[in-house]
Amino acid sequence: MDKSAPKAIHLKDYAPPPYLIDTVDLTFDLGEEVTRVRSSLQLRANPVRLPDGAPVPLVLDGQELKLVSLAIDGRTLEPAEYAIGPESLTIFDPPAAFALEVETELKPQENTSLEGLYRTSGNFCTQCEAEGFRKITYFLDRPDVMARYRTTITADALKYPVLLSNGNLVAASKMGHDGRHTVTWEDPFAKPCYLFALVAGVLVHVEDSYVTRSGRTVTLRIYVEPGNQDKCDHAMRSLKKSMAWDENVYGLEYDLDIFMIVAVGDFNMGAMENKGLNVFNTKYILARPESATDTDFLGVEAVVAHEYFHNWTGNRVTCRDWFQLSLKEGLTVFRDQEFSSDLNSRPVKRIADVQRLRAAQFPEDSGPMAHPIRPDSYIEINNFYTTTVYEKGAEVVRMIHTLLGAEGYRKGIDLYFERHDGQAVTCDDFVAAMEDATGKDLSQFRRWYSQAGTPELDISGEYDGHGRTYRLTVRQSCPPSPGQPVKQPYHIPLALGLLDPQGADIPLRLKTEDVPKGTSRVLDVTEAEQVFEFADVPAPPVPSLLRGFSAPVKLRMSYTDDDLTFLMANDSDAFNRWEAGQTLGTRLLLGLVEDRAAGRPLELSRGFLDALDKILNDPALDHAFAAQALTLPSEGYLGQQMPVIDVDGIHEVRGFARKAIAAHLRDDLLSTYRALGGNEPFAIDAAIGRRSLKNLALGYLMSLEDAEAVELCVGQFHNAHAMTDVIAALGLLNDTHLPQRDAALARFYETWKNEPLVVDKWFSIQAMSERPETLAEVRSLLNHPAFEIRNPNKVYALIGGFAGGNAVRFHDSSGAGYEFLADQVLTLNGLNPQVASRMVKLFARWRKYDDRRQAFMRAQLERIVGAPNLSPDVFEIASKSLQ
């Protein structure tokens, strides 16, 4: 690392702020060329750090700002009294308590990072989390500085008729002689600056209201660009359901008179929970059946809930520092997952969440960027909005819920709010509240916060016919991760059941107990090796382990193929029925990858085909569940199970297995398709399951590429009403060389070219085609008039779709895919470091590939690290990947 390499920040160096800010009074003068920000702060020395007053300088954060004036208690400071650095403003000798006035200028129209104050579709918008507020004004930009805000906005009344900020509207002027108008917002709740928001522009809104359980009426508004009002129904309904759910399940009520959401087209992430003024990526608000898929609808519901839930878990109680990010994100993801489970099918949701965890978090946790859910250090905090902090963080909260039970967990949550409302706290404070409310000792459990890596459970079972006992031996281990060569044993909740030979659950009594405790129970695994002995087991059982995926671990158990088909058919735990099929499928497919490598003929096991046959023809099964159970493990998941990922082998073998399944089940797939294929009126309910099973059947049939399947597929593309069905058909055609493919893509574009979110689908479908010409097509799509490199959604669709969603083409042995990605990373680095950093992460797993591919990827990473003007965001990921 050279001298100019950005420095890491460490959790162990945390110190409370030397100064506190009680009130913030902001005035924005929004302009086309220059925006002026006047900030009046009421500051005082922090008694915790400076008990005798203020002997230390005040260092405010600030980036890319032009300082216009600076005054303390009304007196303009002399140049000798302060210093401006590239990222700070230091006031050398401030009094113990004072009013600071800072006037700065900035140019939001030149801000392509989409952090701080920026322009989107001609409007003004902010994104301050994590450290964007320092691009708006000089400030103590850290979450443990909480203040009350008053925000005044002045702007051209015609160009910016709508002026929004946090809290309640307290004043609004009519247009003056200068054509400008002014509004003032006041937020009564103290908050950290990362929750500040401002929006100004031409926006329309839909309005509704919600009466809280204590009888207060809250105005609900969703602001969108004109023309999108008709796409807000689902988001509004989701918001009201979220408000009701949080009252019922957590006893938490909304606290302001108005709750506003603004949807913008240019946004780095999914959405942001600014107090009273959530800002969303349009992708998670706009939805109509013709233009959004079922997945999109579920995404809107989940993200609206997530941001709403942050009002308590994140805003009312916030993070002391950014190492504690999982305090709010893990908890809030767990809350939105449970919300979606309560509204929809619980097992189907759990399966989807676990698939996501395995697809993204497990690889992260075993690669060069592995970090605990509470990281120890970072260079750029934006790089730590990771699937580990979010999704593994949610699993950790879920385990607490499992260990304490729903009632104990609720007691813990109640105590957490009782103690910490209005504070900025730590993950440890959260765990302590859970312990103190229930008396449960979570000291060992805390290792989930400090250790990285995915623990592995090795379980073996032994039946003793004489003693009618069944012994389970459980061993746990966790592989090393960067900076953590050795791991201490975790406290793991192991939910399990034992199935008798008829498939029924056996009552579970440990030898040390007098009476059985149910037929499904949670064991506390705490040792490196531990034995659990069950009594009164009448015959050799088949264990159903880690029910509901009770811990984010990898499980190894020596099941026979027959055990797995037995569990697929009989387990009372739906998640484990699905899991057994995935385990069997993984085993068989990996065997085929070896067969292929050894030049042996490929053949799919008869038993597996029969098991799939049973699922497809089981009328009692939920359709969505059946679709998940009939889906083979993904290429990515299969790759994770190999020491060296055989990209081509996996792709070919999985394709082969799909064809073999389709050929074996062809008639049943056809009749399933026909039975479910009616063009039914759209609804977000059981119809989602019907559509997924129907499209699963169509996918298998299309793998045969016979005339009948193609006709059904083309017919569905042309006639379907729901976007889910249109996209499913288009995605299948997209992998073929049929003449109908190009025609369908062209028609789709013509139909939807004015809907940016649908055009994103068009880009990503093409980027994910398995056809050999895909990279060339992706390159030429970069020049398509609808592609904009400054728009994150477009980048994620086209570049992300190719490099992250098309293993066989991205990892082409020529290395051309790697060069393409590195080119894009370097372009994006200068425009939007956060987006560039998300793209460079796609190289992080380079060591999992063969030597030739490793050499190519390494060369591109080195090229990136050596590039001039590298952002800390990209530098951190690229350099850590090479370590």
Binding site for ligand ARG (CB under 6 A): 129-130, 268-269, 271-273, 306-307, 329, 382, 385, 834
616 binds, among Zn ion, ligand ARG, none (CB under 5 to 8 A by kind): none
- Please check whether residue 100 is in contact with residue 25, taking contact to mean a CB–CB distance below 8 angstroms: no
Q: Measured at the alpha carbon of residue 330, what is the angle toward residues 400 and 529, in degrees to the nearest 5?
A: 45
Smallest distance, Zn ion to C-beta of residue 446, A:
22
Calculated CA dihedral for residues 574, 579, 584, 586, nearest 10 degrees: 150
Q: Which is nearer to ligand ARG, 269 or 825 (CB)?
A: 269
CB of residue 410 to ligand ARG, shortest distance in Å: 23
Query: Six-digit token pair at 752?
Result: 């939807």
> Measured from the CB atom, is 547 or 838 closer to ligand ARG?
838
391: annotated active-site residue:
no
Q: What is the smallest separation between the CB atom of 144 and ligand ARG, expressed in angstroms?
A: 17
The rounded distance, in Å, linking the Cα atoms of 798 and 778 is: 7
> 109 Cβ partners below 8 Å, 6+ apart?
32, 33, 119
Which among Zn ion, ligand ARG, none contacts residue 272 (Cβ within 5 to 8 A by kind)? Answer: ligand ARG
| Shortest distance in whole angstroms from residue 203 CB to ligand ARG | 21
Residue count (the chain): 883
From residue 307, alpha-carbon distances to 238, 435, 704 in Å are 11, 27, 44
Q: How far is CA 164 from the centre of its chain?
A: 27
Residue 771 Cβ, how far from Zn ion at the closest point, in Å? 37
d(CA 307, CA 305): 6
Closest CA to 800 of 765, 755, 754: 765
Residue 268 binds: one of ligand ARG, Zn ion, none (C-beta under 5 to 8 A by kind): ligand ARG
* Contact of residue 386 among ligand ARG, Zn ion, none (CB under 5-8 Å per partner type): none
Residue placing its CB nearer to Zn ion in the complex, 150 or 283: 283
- Determine the 3-state secondary structure of 9 from DSSP: strand
Q: To which residue do tokens 């522009």 refer?
A: 201
Token reading at 179: 């054509």
Interaction partner, residue 564 (ligand ARG, Zn ion, none; CB < 5-8 Å by kind): none
Whose Cβ is closer to Zn ion: residue 332's or residue 382's? 332
**Apex 356 CA angle, 354 and 358, nearest 5:** 70
Residues 314-333 binding Zn ion (CB under 5 A) are: 329, 332
In the complex with ligand ARG, the residue whose CB is nearer, 565 or 834, is: 834
- Strand-pair category, 424-425 with 318-319: parallel
Report, in Å, the least distance between residue 645 CB and ligand ARG.
30
Nearer to ligand ARG (CB atom), residue 141 or residue 307: 307
Contact of 258 with 168, CB cutoff 8 Å: yes
Nearest distance, CB of residue 270 and ligand ARG, angstroms: 6
Angle at 568 between CA 564 and CA 570, to 5 degrees: 110
| Residue 129 binds: one of Zn ion, ligand ARG, none (C-beta under 5 to 8 A by kind) | ligand ARG
List of residues 6+ apart from 38 with CB closer than 8 A? 26, 27, 29, 101, 102, 103
CA distance 353 to 335: 13
Q: Which is nearer to Zn ion, 266 or 329 (CB)?
A: 329
Residues 696-725 that bind Zn ion (CB under 5 A): none
CA distance 557 to 37: 62
Contacts of 235 (CB under 8 A, 6+ apart): 222, 261, 284, 285, 286, 287, 300, 304
The structure tokens listed for 364 are 């992260």
* Helices within 439-507 (DSSP H only): 447-450
Alpha-carbon separation of residue 290 from 296, 297, 699, 727 (angstroms): 12, 11, 21, 11
| Nearer CB in complex with ligand ARG: 692/837 | 837
Which lies closer to ligand ARG via its Cβ, residue 273 or residue 505?
273
Which of Zn ion, ligand ARG, none is residue 364 near (CB under 5 to 8 Å by kind)? none
Considering the complex, what minimum distance in angstroms separates the CB of residue 272 from ligand ARG?
Answer: 5
Burial class (CB in 10 A: 0-12, 13-18, 19+), 56: middle
Q: Which residues pair with 472 in a beta bridge?
A: 461, 532
Phi and psi based region of residue 518 (left: phi greater than 0; alpha: psi -120 to 50; beta: remaining) = left
Farthest-apart Cα atoms in the chain, separation? 97
**Beta-ladder partners of 200:** 124, 163
Active-site hit among 129, 307, 380, 635: 307
Under a CB-based contact definition with an 8 Å cutoff, are residues 540 and 549 in contact?
no
Instruction: Give whichever of 261 and 653 is closer to ligand ARG, judged by the CB atom.
Output: 261
| Least Å from the CB of residue 125 to ligand ARG | 13
Residue 43 CB, shortest distance to ligand ARG, in Å, is 27
| Positive/negative CA dihedral, 869, 875, 881, 883 | positive
Collapse the DSSP code of 725 into the 3-class scheme (helix H, G, I; strand E, B; otherwise coil) and give the result. Answer: helix
Q: Is 171 helix (H, G, I), strand (E, B) or coil?
A: strand
Question: Cβ of 76: how many Cβ atoms within 10 Å?
Answer: 10
Nearest distance, CB of residue 382 and ligand ARG, angstroms? 5
Using CB distances below 5 to 8 A depending on partner kind, what does residue 505 bind out of Zn ion, ligand ARG, none? none
332 vs 570, which CB is nearer to Zn ion? 332
Residues that bind Zn ion (CB under 5 A): 329, 332
Please identify every residue annotated as catalytic.
307
